[in-house]
Each structure stands twice: as C-alpha cells, then as structure tokens.
C-alpha cells in the first residue's frame, strides 16, 4: 500500500484538501471527488473528454499527475454554468445542435472558453486549431464550429449591454 499524498487545490473556486496515491492522475482524483463532468475517455491524451483548465491553461487531465497540481487552480465545465443558468457558450452549443451524446461536450466547451477568452472573434481556422484534440464521434464538427461562432456572438452581445 502506497502512502497517500495530500495537497491543496482550488477546484471551481473552492479550496480543498485532497488525498490520493502518488501515481494518480488529475482526472482520477477529480472523478473520485465527485467531478464527474470531467469525462474519462481514452486516458492517453488523445480525445479531449477530460479537458480542464489548470492554472489558466487547457490540459488533458488524464495526462497530468495530480501531485503536480499542488496549490493549483482547476476549472471544470461546472464552474461556467448549469442547466438553469447556462454560460453563453453552453447556450450556444445547445442552440446550435452541437450537443448530441454529450460525452465530448464539457471538453469542447472548456476549449471554446479558453479560445474566446483570448480571441473574442476567432476565424474558422482559429476555432479548428483550438478544438484540435477534442474528438467527437457524433456531430462531424460542423455544428461545433457553428456553436463556437454563435458563442462568440452571444458574448459580444452581452458585453455590449
């Protein structure tokens, strides 16, 4: 039996102390602590289902050892909004029909959030680059690209108010 590591971590703006095995990934630690919106897909960093924002950067949480996130700041899609009060990005994904099975959606939404935080009016090429690594087997990506464009519009409109 391995000795557990205990770290402090801020998850969705809530500071927590979390204990885990030294070889645990951030993905496994998040899921074991109830953050099931972080999906477990390939565990090889290829699908993007496990994307979170760690210290301001999108990462595949399956590729990050949890211990390296000590004193870090993690944001999951839950921090953006929920079904009753969706973030404009979440609303745009729903309005565009970009959500089908929903498995890839949290990672797609967080990648979009990162993109739009840095590039409020992205080109189609910039959208494709930002979503590279977020795999979807349902939509064919056309609706996802449309959702990102719509989200950018929603955010611009909200900032004009």
- The DSSP string of 81-143 is --SSS--HHHHHHHHTT--SS-SSHHHHHHHHHHHHHH-SS--HHHHHHHHTT---SSS-SHH
The whole-model pTM stands at 0.94
Fold of 88-160: DNA polymerase; domain 1 (1.10.150)
Listed by start position, the domains of the chain span: 5-79, 88-160
Encode the chain (161 residues) as per-residue pLDDT tens digits: 679 999 999 999 999 999 999 999 999 999 999 999 999 999 999 999 999 999 999 999 999 999 999 999 999 999 999 999 999 999 999 999 999 899 999 999 999 999 999 999 999 999 999 999 999 988 779 999 999 999 999 999 988 87
Domain 5-79, second-level architecture: Roll (3.10)
């Amino acid at each position: 039996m391995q000795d557990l590591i205990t770290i402090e971590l801020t998850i969705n703006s809530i500071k927590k102390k979390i204990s885990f095995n030294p070889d645990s990934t951030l993905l496994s630690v998040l899921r074991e602590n109830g953050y099931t919106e972080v999906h477990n897909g390939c565990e090889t960093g290829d699908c993007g289902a496990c994307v979170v924002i760690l210290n301001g950067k999108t990462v595949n949480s399956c590729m990050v050892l949890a211990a390296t996130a000590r004193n870090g700041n993690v944001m999951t899609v839950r921090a953006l909004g929920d079904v009753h009060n969706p973030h404009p990005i979440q609303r745009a994904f729903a309005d565009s029909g970009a959500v089908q099975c929903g498995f890839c959606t949290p990672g797609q939404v967080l990648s979009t959030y990162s993109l739009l935080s840095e590039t409020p009016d992205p080109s189609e090429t910039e959208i494709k680059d930002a979503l590279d690594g977020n795999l979807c087997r349902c939509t064919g990506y056309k609706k996802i690209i449309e959702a990102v464009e719509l989200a950018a519009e929603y955010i611009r409109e909200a900032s004009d108010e």
